[in-house]
Amino acid sequence: MGPSNPLQTSGPRTRVHQTPLSRLIPCLWIVCLLLAACGGYEDKRLRQLMVEKGFGTRAQGDATRETYVVGGDAVQFLISPATYQQPDAERLFLLTQPQPVGIDGTIMVPYIGAVQVLGKTEAELATLVRGLLRPIFSFEIDMQARIINVGKIFFATGEVQARGVIPISKADLTLFEAVMRVGWTQLANLGRVRLVRPDAEDPFVMELNVREMATQGWSGRNLYVKEYDILYIPPTFLGTLSRLVERLLAPLSYAVRAMFGFAAAQASYEYLTGESDTLPFYYY
């Protein structure tokens, strides 16, 4: 027999017993790492889609000072008839017709094609189209652009009669006039009307006591309403309780309507089949 190896130890070897929990721990670590990686990707994608400034639309500006093109507007160009009566310039007449802005923010310019106009002012529109047409014609085209404001809107919510999207149909629309235009319900709290101006960095919220302005004439907070502003008229304390009770009883009212509808249908069937001579009663 050869010499024994000093590194070998005699005696029985100790075997480590693995429980089901110890086998599950590595799997849990892998799942946690995968979830963290997915969460990081989703957070990065969400940050890329988040609004950085303003309301969130691609067109930004202040239409109360200088109008600009937004979605829903129309664009019209003022061109002298002598210009589009020139040889090979007849299609310029199409620019004199009001043209709605496409969903991609473009309009069709003859001899050019689709042109991006979203967010541009009237002066910028005339300069842009004139520059695009200059290489095509040997004469200078004198034109002016006009934006037909159809897409400038504000939002009304809360205890108002006209709820939703409200078009800004006039210049210098004030908060008091906007309240008068949308109206209010009997549950409205006219002492705490809010004007909310959304912004991704610094949103603006201001309260106006419409009742005080209507009775005393104090117009210190009667601000201009800009595009995408939110007009909110909150309910009074009793109005809040009334709306709460209304929401709680809404499912019951639907059930009662369904029962009356079923009863009316059954009565109609019995009357039509001759089982009953009583005219059916319809519930509305």
What DSSP string describes 94-145?
GGGS-EEPPTTSEEEETTTEEEE-TT-BHHHHHHHHHHHHTTT-SSPPPEEE
Task: Measure Cα distances from 106 to 69, 163, 236, 242 in Å.
Answer: 10, 30, 46, 48
Task: Measure Cα distances from 150 to 67, 69, 71, 73, 130 in Å.
Answer: 11, 10, 9, 5, 24
Q: Which of 75-79, 136-140, 269-273 has the highest mean pLDDT?
A: 75-79
CB 183 within 8 A of CB 162: yes
Q: What is the pLDDT of residue 180?
A: 93
Q: Is 192 helix (H, G, I), strand (E, B) or coil?
A: helix
Q: Which domains, from first to last, does the chain contain?
A: 74-148 (3.30.1950.10), 153-235 (3.10.560.10), 237-284 (no CATH)
Residues in the chain: 284
In DSSP terms, 113 is beta-bridged to 109
CB 95 within 8 A of CB 77: yes
Return the structure tokens found at 234: 């909150």
Q: What is the pLDDT of residue 166?
A: 94
- Give pLDDT tens digits for 159-172: 999 999 999 988 88
- Give pLDDT tens digits for 198-225: 988 888 999 989 998 889 988 888 888 9
Q: Is 225 helix (H, G, I), strand (E, B) or coil?
A: coil
pTM, 2 dp: 0.69
